[in-house]
Amino acid sequence: MMARFLAPRYLAPRFLALLALCTSVLGAPAVAQDGPLRLEITEGVIEPMPFAVPTFVPGGGTSGQVAQDISSLIAADLSGTGLFREIPASAHISRVTSFSSPVQFADWKAVNAQALVTGAVETDASGRLVVQFRVWDVFSGQELGNGQQFVGTAAGWRRIAHKIADQVYSRITGEGGYFDSRVVYVSETGPKDQRAKRLAIMDYDGANVSYLTDSSSLVLAPRFSPTGDRILYTSYESGFPRIYVLDVASVNRRSLPAQQGTMSFAPRFAPNGQTVVYSVESGGNTDIYTMDINSGAAQRLTSAPSIETAPSFSPDGSQIVFESDRTGRNQLYVMSAGGGEARRISNGEGNYGTPVWSPRGDLIAFTKQSKSRFHIGVMRTDGSEERLLTASFLDEGPTWAPNGRVIMFTRETQGAAGQAGLYSVDITGRNLRAVPTGGGASDPSWSPLQ
């Protein structure tokens, strides 16, 4: 009882001493600021960066329309990423009349342009376009990189604009662009129960559509080679699903060797461009194989009684991610490129499928079906940090942009009149937008940068 009363009396001096010690320790930095003011910034904002692309200066016999077209396409490329926001020409204060004139940064600061692209277009003696450009950091008044020029045919002005946009994108973000690339996909026409499908190829933004096959036979899942010169796809041309390789330049194709009575499908190139990984269905069982595209020598990688399909190589060619229902539900697994034991990487609810390894090697995109909805998502290669980016009646078949920043996929609307189309989304889940294809489209495959 006595101790209970004495305790506060004894503790009080100790508490005051401790308080004084804490006061002296904590107070010292606030009082004696002996150096610069040091602050840590851990929060920021995520918003499109305002930029301006004043119309490139035409010269040397080049029409102003060409300069306008190139400038507009560069701005459209950048704006389409969702990372940049164009400041319209109507808001510009400065007029760039000479490519070599000093930039009036104050005018561009006034309209809050943080990046500025200036350029000029000329036509040389041989009739080729010569396009010069510079990229500026407006608020620091410094040039990002050096001026550069591209030369090309007048008909290739779109590619020149895409290449410049790739350069601008790379200099600001620090990662490669994806504008000078193409997409091969399955063009779909007709009603849902009699849909005609054929391979089509287009620029990444939907321009320059052309067709690689006719619609006499069903085609599925085209996949670009690492160099973009060949395409693997599955066709029912023989009445049976079989893998074909198509040469983009000549549109010639040939089928890969296959055992009679089996179905081979879901092909993808290995990073070396000489090996194909694919699935073979035989006797109700589906397993994964690789084949040397030149010799035709095949190697079986899995031998489970379950369905293993949709294989995709890692960028270094050392691993393969695929889907399997060996546990009763479709899940994602990773195994060595030579086969062997696989480890499961997906652990969420629902079914996972169509995994695709990012060209940067850091993420795996996939389709997920959960609670009667389909999602496109990404996860780390070990299955961690899963994030669903989309949700709809039917989303599936992701493909990566060459820089690993954007995913394109198929979205199909419901009902008998449902239509498949292509959509793209940033890996953060922002900037979800439809890709213009002029008609039904599915199964996209993004080419490497050209």
Partner 1 sequence: MRAARRWTRPKAEARSAVNTGQIISGAGHIGLIGWMMFGGWFTSRPLDFQVTEVTAVSYEEYAAIVSGAAVQDDAAEIAPPAPLEPEVPQDAPDLTSAADAAPETPMPDAAPETAPDPVPQPPAPLAEAEVSDEPPTMEQPAQDMAALVPDSALRPQQRPAERVAPQQVDPPEPDTAVDDVVREEAVPDEAAETPREEAEATAPEAAATEIVTEAEQPAPSGSVRPKARPNRPAPTPEPETQTAEAAPAPEPAPTPAPEPEPAPEPAPSADSGGIEDALAAALGAASETPAPAAPSAPAGPPLTSGEKDGMRIAVQNCWNVGSLSSDALATTVTVAFEMSQDAKPIDSTIRMIDSTGGSSGAAKQAYEAARRAIIRCGARGFALPVEKYASWRNVELTFNPENMRIK
> Which CB, 129 or 301, lies closer to partner 1?
129
CB of 1 to partner 1, least distance (A): 38
Q: Which is nearer to partner 1, 33 or 63 (CB)?
A: 33
**Element housing 369 (H / E):** strand 363-370
> Shortest distance, CB of residue 228 to partner 1, whole angstroms?
7
Q: Would you say how long the chain is, in residues?
A: 450
**Collapsing DSSP states into helix, strand and coil, what is residue 330?**
coil
**362: CB partners within 8 A, 6+ apart:** 380, 381, 404
* Shortest distance (Å) from residue 137 CB to partner 1: 6
Nearest distance in Å: CB 363, partner 1? 9
* Alpha carbon of residue 173 to chain centroid: 14
With respect to partner 1, which residue has the nearer C-beta, 62 or 213? 213
State the nearest-atom distance from the C-beta of 4 to partner 1, in Å. 32
Nearer to partner 1, 232 or 335 (CB): 232
> For partner 1, which is the closer residue by CB, 218 or 304?
218
Distance CA 118, CA 132 (A): 8
Quote the least distance from Cβ 192 to partner 1, whole Å.
6
Contact 230, 247 (CB under 8 A): yes
The candidate with the shortest Cα–Cα distance to 259, out of 236, 282, 279, is: 282
Closest CA to 327 of 355, 302, 314, 346: 346
**H or E element in which residue 66 lies:** helix 64-80
Nearer to partner 1, 222 or 228 (CB): 228
Enumerate residues 6+ apart whose C-beta is below 8 A from 23.
none
Residue number with CB closer to partner 1 (170 or 344): 170
Rounded Cα distance between 394 and 378, Å, is: 17
Quick check: 54 and 46 in contact, CB under 8 A?
no
Nearer Cβ to partner 1 (42/90):
42
Radius of gyration of the chain (CA): 28
Q: How many CA atoms, within 13 angstroms, populate the side-chain half-sphere of residue 376?
A: 29
Shortest Å, Cβ 407 to partner 1: 12
> Of 314 and 367, which CB lies nearer to partner 1 in the complex structure?
367
Residue 16 CB, nearest approach to partner 1 (Å): 14
Nearer to partner 1, 41 or 125 (CB): 41
Q: Tell me how far, at minimum, the Cβ of 332 lies from partner 1, in Å.
A: 15
379-388: list long-range contacts, CB under 8 Å, 24+ apart. Answer: 379/345, 379/346, 381/314, 381/319, 381/321, 381/334, 381/345, 381/357, 382/345, 383/332, 383/344, 383/345, 383/346, 383/347, 386/346, 386/348, 387/429, 388/429
CA 358 to each of CA 149, 246, 330: distance values in angstroms, whole numbers, following the listed order: 31, 24, 20
**At 291, phi and psi to the nearest 5?**
-145, 135
CB of 333 to partner 1, least distance (A): 19
